[in-house]
């Protein structure tokens, strides 16, 4: 609680003197009507008002002044401080006692009211802080929100010092104008796990209060944050310091909880990555042996004498086909690795027609006979994307369609626009997927085919995700599958022919 200033005392005293003078004047003018009892009650009213509105000292002085005023002006013999009758003494002393008792009671009432209000405010702050700590989902938000909350509650600037990787300190999270404390102070707090303030007897002249999150001496590798409080004045009581310290303990618990959650997540992620890598290595080592065996077998057969031209051509074609299969698989694995490791994929305006042209040319260059039917339902459509990845996605869908296309029906590639989306579909007339198939549950390295790594659809899905694009697969009426990449249709400014 703040101490009242001398100026406030002087003002209150002046107001009371004026009030007493007015009361005395009124009493004096109508004394004959009021009598001593009425006069005494009016003075008592002044004492009660003083007790309610003024400081205790001023209120007590009012009681004494009122006592003297009654004695001097209204008790016989009047205009002296002498008292003629015993009953007058009794009245005067009773008045003084009642005045002092009332003043004391009002003082106590005021104090209890203030305490109740403070307790309510603290309880409300405690509730808000607890909610904040419980709901915080990440460390930065936790620190930022609690810093702001502390500033509102204690009306002081707060900051949180964290240790960077190079062991330097930074105070990126702060609320209000606050300067970075001296690094020697911060070092001492971390090394000892103790707070700095006048109430701890450590560095009592410091311009800041420093409270460590961790009350134990920090190891070099683990350096928890430090709460910094600024604008410290002599009036700041130990209660405020203790309240802030208790807040730091709560914040520290929530902080440790979030750090532990993050560590657990990181560990789970690492375990998952390791599992995927193991699965990838196992798949590669197992499935690559098949085409390599074919290549080795065909190549060693070619070294045999007396092979006729037909056999030679057949074996050469086998080697070429298996090598292409290995190359395509390597591309798929590389794409997947790139997609999962790349933070930003370069995107540009692409024409679906050109991408499809590129894919059909690719099959032509590979000497693979694929019967395509391309339907571009709307010209001049542009999508935002990465050409290589989109080609990879379409190639994987076409490869799948081709494998399923047992009746050698044409593979349809269709481009169209519906509502606000541009759709590229690859449609086949194969056997289709089972009714339970769900495109969102495609797993890496899982395949329905005896040959292959099961990467094809996973890559399409990853490419779709990187392009913020919908990838859907559904069975077609009349048999077969329709796999669609659905892109958001961006606004392209109108381009004149000139």
Partner 1 sequence: MPNNKQILIIEDDLQISQFLQSSLKLNAYHSLCASTIAGGKRLFNEHKPVLIILDLNLPDGDGRDFIAYVRASSDIPILVLSARQSELEKVACFDLGADDYLAKPFGVNELLARVKVSLKRTAMMSLRDDLYKLDDLQIDTANNSVLLNKKTVHLTPIEFKLLFTLAKKPGKVFTHRQLLTEVWGAEYVDDTHYLRIHMGRLRARLEKNTAAPRYILTEVGIGYRLATT
22 binds partner 1 (CB under 8 A): no
489 binds partner 1 (CB under 8 A): no
How many degrees, rounded to 5, is the angle at CA 466 between CA 462 and CA 470?
75
**HSE (side-chain half, CA atoms, 13 Å) at 318:** 19
Which stretch, 50-58, 191-199, 219-227, 349-357, contacts partner 1 (CB under 8 A)? Answer: 349-357
350 binds partner 1 (CB under 8 A): yes
Which stretch, 6-14, 75-83, 288-296, 322-330, contacts partner 1 (CB under 8 A)? Answer: 322-330
333 binds partner 1 (CB under 8 A): no
Residue number with CB closer to partner 1 (357 or 479): 357
162 binds partner 1 (CB under 8 A): no
Which stretch, 72-80, 137-145, 166-174, 488-496, contacts partner 1 (CB under 8 A)? Answer: 488-496
Site for partner 1 in 380-399 (CB under 8 A): 380, 382, 386-388, 391
Q: How far is CA 5 from CA 111, 245, 349, in A?
A: 18, 29, 72
Using DSSP, state whether 236 is helix, strand or coil: coil
317 binds partner 1 (CB under 8 A): no
CB 317 within 8 A of CB 309: no
Query: C-beta of 200: minimal distance to partner 1 in Å?
Result: 59
302 binds partner 1 (CB under 8 A): no
Which stretch, 284-292, 297-305, 347-355, 469-477, contacts partner 1 (CB under 8 A)? Answer: 347-355
Which H or E run includes 414?
A: strand 411-418
Give the strand order in the sheet containing 421-427.
372-376, 411-418, 421-427, 481-488, 470-475
Peptide bond into 36 cis (omega under 30): no
**HSE (side-chain half, CA atoms, 13 Å) at 359:** 29
Tell me the backbone φ, ψ of residue 474, rounded to 5 degrees.
Answer: -145, 155
* DSSP per position, 117-161: HHHHHHHHHHHHHHHHHHH--SHHHHHHHHHHHHHHHH-S-EEEE
Which stretch, 100-108, 297-305, 326-334, 460-468, contacts partner 1 (CB under 8 A)? Answer: 326-334
Tell me the backbone φ, ψ of residue 334, rounded to 5 degrees.
Answer: -60, -40
Site for partner 1 in 425-464 (CB under 8 A): none
- Provide the mask over 405-424, with x wherever binding to partner 1 is found by CB under 8 A and - wherever it is not: --------x-----------
Residue number with CB closer to partner 1 (304 or 365): 365
Among 19, 202, 206, 331, binds partner 1 (CB under 8 A): 331
Q: How far apart are CA 232 and CA 228, in angstroms?
A: 11
Q: How far apart are CA 416 and CA 379, in angstroms?
A: 9
Which stretch, 77-85, 138-146, 247-255, 358-366, contacts partner 1 (CB under 8 A)? Answer: 358-366
356 binds partner 1 (CB under 8 A): yes
Q: How far apart are CA 498 and CA 496, in angstroms?
A: 5
Contact positions toward partner 1, by CB under 8 A? 320, 323-324, 327, 331, 334, 346, 348-351, 353-358, 360-361, 365-367, 374, 376, 379-380, 382, 386-388, 391, 413, 492-493, 495, 497-498
């Amino acid at each position: 609680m703040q101490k009242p200033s001398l100026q406030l005392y002087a003002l209150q005293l002046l107001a009371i003197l004026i009030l007493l003078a007015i009361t005395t004047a009124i009493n004096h003018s109508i004394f004959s009507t009021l009598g001593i009892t009425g006069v005494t009650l009016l003075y008592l009213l002044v004492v009660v008002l003083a007790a309610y509105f003024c400081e205790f000292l001023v209120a007590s002085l009012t009681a004494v002044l009122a006592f003297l005023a009654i004695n001097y002006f209204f008790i016989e013999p009047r205009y002296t401080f002498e008292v003629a009758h015993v009953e007058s003494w009794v009245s005067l002393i009773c008045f003084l006692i009642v005045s002092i008792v009332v003043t004391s009671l009002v003082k106590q009432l005021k104090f209890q009211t203030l305490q109740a209000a403070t307790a309510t405010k603290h309880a409300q702050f405690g509730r808000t802080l607890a909610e904040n700590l419980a709901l915080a989902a990440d460390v930065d938000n936790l620190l930022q929100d609690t810093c702001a909350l502390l500033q509102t509650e204690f009306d002081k600037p707060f900051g949180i010092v964290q240790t960077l990787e190079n062991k330097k300190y930074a105070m990126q999270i702060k609320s209000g104008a606050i300067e970075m404390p001296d690094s020697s102070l911060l070092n001492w707090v971390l090394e000892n796990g103790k707070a700095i303030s006048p109430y701890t007897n450590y560095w009592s002249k410091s311009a800041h209060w420093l409270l460590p999150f961790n009350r134990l001496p920090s190891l070099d590798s683990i350096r928890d944050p430090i709460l910094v409080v600024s604008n410290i004045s002599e009036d700041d009581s130990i209660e405020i310091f203790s309240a802030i310290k208790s807040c730091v303990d709560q914040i520290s618990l929530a902080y440790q909880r979030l750090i532990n959650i993050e560590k657990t997540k990181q560990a789970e992620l690492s375990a998952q990555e390791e599992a995927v890598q193991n699965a990838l290595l196992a798949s590669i080592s197992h499935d690559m042996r098949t085409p390599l065996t074919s290549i080795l077998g065909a190549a060693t057969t070619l070294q045999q004498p007396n092979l006729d031209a037909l056999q030679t051509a057949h074996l050469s074609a086998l080697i070429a086909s298996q090598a292409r299969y290995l190359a395509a698989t390597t591309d798929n694995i590389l794409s997947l690795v790139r997609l999962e490791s790349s933070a930003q994929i370069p995107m540009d305006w692409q024409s679906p027609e050109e991408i499809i042209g590129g894919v059909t040319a690719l099959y032509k260059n590979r000497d693979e006979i694929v019967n395509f039917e391309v339907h571009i339902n709307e010209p001049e459509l542009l999508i935002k994307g990465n050409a290589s990845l989109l080609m990879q996605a379409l190639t994987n869908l076409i490869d799948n369609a081709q494998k399923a296309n047992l009746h050698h029906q044409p593979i349809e590639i269709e481009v169209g626009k519906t509502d606000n989306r541009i759709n590229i579909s690859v449609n086949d007339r194969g056997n289709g997927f089972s009714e339970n198939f769900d495109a969102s549950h495609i797993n890496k390295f899982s395949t329905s085919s005896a040959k292959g790594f099961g990467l094809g659809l996973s890559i399409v899905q990853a490419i779709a995700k990187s392009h913020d694009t919908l990838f859907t697969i559904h069975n077609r009426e009349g048999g077969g599958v329709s796999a669609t990449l659905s892109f958001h249709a961006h606004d392209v400014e109108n381009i004149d022919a000139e």
